[in-house]
Amino acid sequence: MPQDTLDRAFLDRLRDAEPQLNALIDQFSEARVLVAGDLTLDEFLTGEVERISREAPVVILRHESTRQIPGGGANAVYNLAKLGAQVTVAGIIGADIQGEALRSIFQAAGIDTAGIVVDRDRPTVTKTRISGHARQSVTQQMVRVDRKSDAPPPNAVSQKLAAFIADHAPSAQAVVCSDYGDGVFSAATIAAALTHTRTIVDAQAGLDRYQGATIFTPNLPEAELASGIAIVDTASLQQAGEALLTLTGAQHILITRGDDGMTLFDRDGEVHHVPAFNRTDVFDVTGAGDTVAATLTLAMCSGATLWEAIVLGNLAASLVVRHFGTATTSQAELKTALTTLLE
Ligand SMILES: Nc1ncnc2c1ncn2[C@@H]1O[C@H](COP(=O)(O)OP(=O)(O)OP(=O)(O)O)[C@@H](O)[C@H]1O
Ligand SMILES: [Mg+2]
C-alpha cells in the first residue's frame, strides 16, 4: 500500500506549498457553494442513573443535557459554513421540532435555508443517542432511537428540490451532493446538480447515477462496493480507482482510507497519495469524510490544484477526528495546524 507516514520528501513538498496553502485558506470566505444533501439531526441526550423503575426492569435517568448537531449531509453543509463559505442548502426535513432545530442551527451559522423543502409525511432524519452515567462515573450509550422513512419522497418534493438546485447552481462556484441514501437524490435532483461544471459527490452508493461529476470522495468500503474490488494492496487500490473513473466518467476519484490517509486518481492517469496527518490524538472519526469533501470543495473554488485541495481536506480531517461526534473546523484552526505540522 502507498506509504502512510509523513516522510521527509512529503514534508519538504508541504513546506514549499505552505504560503500558497495559507493563501487558499484565506480565500475560503469568498466561496459560494450550493449543497444538496440528505439532512440528519444528531441528538445526544445524557442523564445520571437515578434508580431502577417500578414499571419495568429498566434504569431511570435524570435528564442532564441535550445536544443537537448537524449529521449526514447536514454535517457537510455545516462544515462548509464554519470554514467561512457562503452556503445555500437544498434538502428535506419533516414538519417537526427536529427539522426546526436543524433549520435554526443552520440559520445561526449564516446558511441560506431557502432550499429546504418540508415533507409533512416524513420525519426529519434524526439519530438520538441516550447515554447515562452513574455518579461520578463514565458516560456510556444505552440505546439509540432513529427516526426516518424508507419511502422515497413524493414527486412534488423532488421536483421542487430539482427546480431550486437548477435555479441556484449558476450563482454558486461549486455544487456539493452529500448523498446518504435518504431520498434527496432522485434522477431530477441529480440532473439539476450536474448542470454545474464543478460538482463534488460524496455518495454512499449508486455513484454511476452521477455521470461526469468532477470528483467523487468515497471512503474505502464505498469504493469497494461501487467497484466490486476488494482493496487489500496497492494493486487493488489502483484497480478500484481506475474502475471508479470508468464507472462514473469523473475527472477525479478521491478514496479516503481512514488512518491510511487518502489517494487521488486523475482521469489523465496521475495518482497522488496523502498520508493521514494525525494518527495519535484520534478520538472519533465520525463525519471526517464530510469535512474532507467540504474543505476540498472550498480549495477548488479558491483555485487550488487537486493536490493542494486534498492536502487541505486531509488537514481539516486531522482536526475533526480529535472531537467527539461530527465536528467542524475553521480557517484559523487550519492555519495553526499547518504551522504546527511543519514545526
Ligand atoms: N483513524 C484515523 N486516524 C487518522 N486520520 C483519520 C482516521 N480516520 C479518518 N481519518 C482522516 O479522515 C479522512 C476521512 O476518513 P474516512 O475515510 O474514515 O471517511 P468517511 O468514512 O467517509 O467518514 P464519514 O462518512 O463518517 O464522514 C481520512 O482520509 C483521514 O484524513
Ligand atoms: Mg463518508
pLDDT tens-digit readout, 118-162: 999 999 999 999 999 999 899 999 999 999 999 999 999 999 999
The answer to whether position 91 is within a domain reads: yes
Total domains in the fold of the chain: 1
Would you tell me how many other CB atoms lie within 10 Å of the CB of residue 55? 7
pTM: 0.95
C-alpha 134 chain-centroid distance: 34
> What's the CA-to-centroid distance between 219 and ligand 2, angstroms?
6
Task: Indicate the pLDDT class of residue 325, thresholds 50, 70 and 90.
Answer: confident
CATH code at position 323: 3.40.1190.20
Catalytic residues: 290
Question: CA separation (Å) from 168 to 88, 161, 162, 190, 256?
Answer: 8, 11, 10, 14, 29
Structural domain that includes position 30: 8-342
The answer to whether position 242 is within a domain reads: yes
The answer to whether position 46 is within a domain reads: yes
The answer to whether position 2 is within a domain reads: no
> What's the CA-to-centroid distance between 80 and ligand 2, angstroms?
15
Residue 70 bridge partners (DSSP): 41
> What's the CA-to-centroid distance between 285 and ligand 1, angstroms?
6
In the chain, DSSP finds a helix count (H) and a strand count (E) of 10, 13
Q: Which ligand is closest in space to the CA of residue 179?
A: 2
Cβ(225) – ligand 1 distance below 6 Å:
no
* pLDDT, tens digit, 9 for 90 and up, residues 87-104: 999 999 999 999 999 999
Residue 25 burial by Cβ neighbours in a 10 Å radius (0-12, 13-18, 19+): buried
Whole-number pLDDT of residue 2: 54
The answer to whether position 273 is within a domain reads: yes
The answer to whether position 59 is within a domain reads: yes
The answer to whether position 133 is within a domain reads: yes
Residue nearest to atom 8 of ligand 1 (CA): 258
Cβ(273) – ligand 1 distance below 6 Å:
no
Contacts of 28 (CB under 8 A, 6+ apart): 83, 84, 85, 298, 299, 301, 302, 331
The answer to whether position 3 is within a domain reads: no
